[in-house]
Amino acid sequence: MIKKIIASAVIALGLAASGSASAIVVNGVNFGTPGTTHLETTTLAETYVNAVGQTLTGYGVVNTVNGNPLYATTPGQYLYFVLNYTVSAFNVDAMGQGTVGFNAGTVNLYLNPFINLLNQSSAANLATIQGGNLWATLAGHTSAPTGTELFATGALTGAQLSFNGAGLLDIASGANGVFNFLNGNSIADGLGGFADIGVTTSGSNTQLNINDNTTGCTTGRAEVGQWCFQGSADLRGATVPEPGVLSLVGLGLLGMGAALRKRKSA
């Protein structure tokens, strides 16, 4: 009985030790408990596209990380992102309803002081965000069945624009532990491989930045490159525990093994 208690205590010690290290901070961003990462963004702005070969550009702010709006270790800082994709497929019917596929995608994340994205034009927002501190770079990951990195459906032309999309991303680079932390390879791509992050997104032309030239965005006369979409995006993926957490769990398991060996030899 005593040996059983010892073994149980060793297991509990290992689990308690791992729990005590559960506040994960990576390069200035607090992810809270390990296991999953959830980046919620709003104020997503994107440009209008209507043909293969065009470039989709977008930007926005990460409002919460795993539900926490105060996720930066430096007060007043936030993660901002800039995305670029190339249109690889564009198919719409006479009513403007259809599908669009994107490839060659990159998403750069920057850790910057607060930027009021509604107080200036999208061109100014892009310049301000990209002038900050690059935190990580994500790259598009091809998935089945569409064979694209990002795929959307909706009202893609006309006076009332809207879309719902989904895609996959991989961590391409990130300093100070960011790359290793986000390199989870947890999402099957349907092609035999795994991606790090899944993306869902949506947007419409109902509310646009008043500092942009949006003439035509709500009349069916939008021009390529105009900022005709506002919406949101949601990024989720499994994270890799920090070495410290893994070592604490390992110590607990090692202790459990030692206790069991002693029990067998008694």
Looking at residue 6, what is its pLDDT?
32
Q: Strand 97-113 and strand 150-155: pairing?
A: antiparallel
Lowest mean pLDDT across 88-92, 106-110, 261-265:
261-265
Q: Which tokens go with 21?
A: 């290290």
Residues 252 and 149 occupy one common structural domain: no
Counted domains in the chain: 2
Work out the number of other CB atoms within 10 angstroms of the CB of residue 97. Answer: 15
Which phi and psi angles does 92 have, rounded to 5°?
A: -135, 155
Q: Average pLDDT in the 110-120 region?
A: 96
Looking at residue 241, what is its pLDDT?
63
Residues 6 and 55 occupy one common structural domain: no
Residues 104 and 68 occupy one common structural domain: yes
Looking at residue 240, what is its pLDDT?
81
Residues 35 and 51 occupy one common structural domain: yes
Looking at residue 34, what is its pLDDT?
73
Residue 47 has pLDDT above 60, yes or no: yes
Residue with tokens 């249109």: 87
**pTM of the predicted structure, to 2 decimals:** 0.83
Q: Average pLDDT in the 151-165 region?
A: 98
Residues 262 and 195 occupy one common structural domain: no
Residues 180 and 148 occupy one common structural domain: yes
- Of 243, 189, 178, 224, nearest to 31 by C-alpha is 178
Looking at residue 248, what is its pLDDT?
32
DSSP label of 148: B
Q: In whole numbers, what is the pLDDT of the chain averaged over residues?
A: 86
Residues 171 and 235 occupy one common structural domain: yes
Residues 225 and 259 occupy one common structural domain: no
Residue 129 has pLDDT above 80, yes or no: yes
Residue 43 has pLDDT above 80, yes or no: no
Q: Whole domain around residue 53: which residue ranges?
A: 27-240
Residue with tokens 């029990």: 263
Residue 155 has pLDDT above 90, yes or no: yes
Contact between 260 and 3 under an 8 Å Cβ cutoff? The reply is no
Helices assigned H by DSSP within the chain: 2-20, 122-130, 178-182, 243-265
Alpha-carbon span 38 to 22, nearest angstrom: 16
Residues 147 and 53 occupy one common structural domain: yes
Lowest mean pLDDT across 3-12, 17-26, 78-87, 219-228:
3-12
Looking at residue 22, what is its pLDDT?
60
Cα end-to-end distance, the chain, whole Å: 12
Q: Average pLDDT in the 159-163 region?
A: 98
Q: Average pLDDT in the 91-104 region?
A: 98
Residues 58 and 144 occupy one common structural domain: yes
Lowest mean pLDDT across 6-15, 31-40, 75-84, 201-210:
6-15
Residues 54 and 3 occupy one common structural domain: no
Residues 215 and 250 occupy one common structural domain: no
Contact between 229 and 161 under an 8 Å Cβ cutoff? The reply is yes
